Amino acid sequence: MKQYEVKNVPRYFEPHVNDCFANAYATVLSYMGNNPNFILTDYLNFMYDEQTEHIGINFFFRATPTVEFSEEELNSSLELAYLPATSMFNKTSPIDEVTDKDKVQINMYIHEDQDIAFTRLKERIDENKPVIVAVDLFYMHFHRAYQREHGLHAIIVTGYDEEKRTLKIIDKYKLSSSDFDGEISMDEMSQSRLSECPLNNPMVGEYKREIRNLWMEIDIDPDFKMNVERIYSIILESCKRMKGQREVLGHECGLNRMEAFRKDLLLKKESFMDRKLDERETYLFKTYYNSAFKSISRSRMRFKVFLEESNLAEKEDLGEVLEQLENALKRWDICANLSLKLGIKKSIKLVDDIVRQLSSIIDIEGEIINKLTDISLTRDLVTVSKNIKDQEM
Amino acid sequence: MINVKQEIINSIKEITVGHDIQEFIEEVLLSDLGIDSIKYVELLVSIEEKCDVEFDESDLGADALKSLGDLINLVNKTLEQKVS
């Protein structure tokens, strides 16, 4: 009977993280000595699809009945990380191998066999590598959702004790009221990892999201380095996306999509005039847009932290951008609260307030993108002239 | 005359389960009453109806308000603005 625990794993939580998965990735990245505020920075962006009414940042926020994702779906947001498609774990295929040495690799594995999943978990822990594991909160005794609500959640396993049949876990994603650091039984974990995770919402109806022992392994090449060029790549790509010069997952994105969303909200308001909001529409505002706007607000906060920590030479020029990002993220947060209030009160006139905030956001984020483009172009000119000088010498 | 403290207590009782608040203690934290950012907006909507006020949209975020004392200050400020 064996036991082992990875020591000194940080109890990481920052309010600007994307979600519980990102918080778990950030925990492991910090443990590995990397700054998650760079690696987990996603591009500044906005997406809107009229057909489904979904919005998003670099992918759409939507209910999905699976934990399996394609390579394209998993790689639309992050410059510095590579996620291969979710795959069935196979011990004989190359594992622990980093495909792109310039990126942090996050492998998402599933396996129906609990023993294989647990054996792999123990192998990684024995190598001092904490493992990120997906669970159904319905079976997690420490969470307020215990025996009340199903939901996919990510936690970090740092140790195991075969004799006591327990696992040491960390769950510090406080945005969903998680704050646990201790032991749970292997039985509790098994039930949670094999849950069918039945879910229901008025936009899609009833569906299941089988967890299938999903787990994530993070590996980094020893030569992986963060440098200023990579910071500029994130800024430049953000500018292109926001200007509508890039398609993401086959969809247009950026400020024009924000304007289309704003106009469609006004059309919606017209259609609400002579009737009450139905269950789906109430859910759309009270839950879906509320949560999506909050996520977008956090993404603007992430981008602000990323710029603050980037230590770029153009620091003075960035001062105004940082102020505008702060302004934008507050307005996205106000949109989230207004949307929730609309869903509770069913007061259609609140659409006007959301639309007014969105108009301001479009102006502010347009200015942010113009300034960041100028900073990037200046940087390019300096680099080109330096290269010419170097060649002449 | 509206008894603001009592209306706040009534609203909290309506939206929280398992927190039997009996008296208004200004130091009590909203988070200790099980009020998260979503419940906070529900609470403000309920107070708006009971006290016939409308909060400014920038006051809907729970970040700046930590305690019952902060909350009554906000309600009183909004009532004063309505009168003026």
Cβ neighbourhood burial of A28 (10 Å; 0-12, 13-18, 19+)? buried
What is the phi/psi pair of residue A305, to 5°? Answer: -60, -40
Task: Residue B63: give the domain boundaries.
Answer: 4-83
CA distance B64 to chain A (A): 12
Report chain A's terminal Cα–Cα distance, integer Å: 68
A344:B41 CB<8 A: yes
| 3-state SS, residue A258 | helix
Q: Would you give per-residue pLDDT tens digits along chain A (393 residues)? A: 699 999 999 999 999 999 999 999 999 999 999 999 999 999 999 999 999 999 999 999 999 999 999 999 999 999 999 999 999 998 777 666 788 889 999 999 999 999 999 999 999 999 999 999 999 999 999 998 999 999 999 999 999 999 999 999 999 998 887 889 999 999 999 999 999 999 999 999 999 999 999 999 999 999 998 888 899 999 999 999 999 999 999 999 999 999 999 999 999 999 888 788 899 999 999 999 999 999 999 999 999 999 999 877 666 778 999 999 999 999 999 999 999 999 999 989 999 999 999 999 999 999 999 999 998 877 765 665 565 565 555
Nearest CA to CA, how far is B62 from chain A (Å)? 10
Could you tell me the CATH number of the domain that includes residue B79?
1.10.1200.10
> What angle separates helix B68-83 from helix B4-15, to the nearest 10 degrees?
120
- Helix, strand, coil percentages for chain A (3-state, nearest 5): 45, 15, 35
Q: Does A338 touch chain B (CB under 8 A)?
A: yes
3.90.70, 3.30.460, 3.40.50, 1.10.890: which CATH number matches A8-40+81-219? Answer: 3.90.70
Residue A41 DSSP label: P
Contact map slice: A 83-102 vs B, CB within 8 A: none
Q: Please state, in angstroms and rounded to a whole number, the distance separating the CA atoms of residues B22 and A276.
A: 36
Of A164, A172, A121, A168, which Cα lies nearest the Cα of A143?
A172
This model of the complex carries an ipTM of: 0.88
Mutant choice from B15, B41, B53, B58 vs A, greatest count of A C-beta within 10 A: B41
Residue written as token pair 């990684």: A124
> What's the domain count of chain B?
1
Q: A369 and A235 in contact (C-beta within 8 Å)?
A: no
Domain spans of chain A? 8-40+81-219, 228-380
Q: Which residue of A has its CA nearest to B31?
A: A177
Half-sphere exposure of A318 (CA within 13 A, CB side): 17
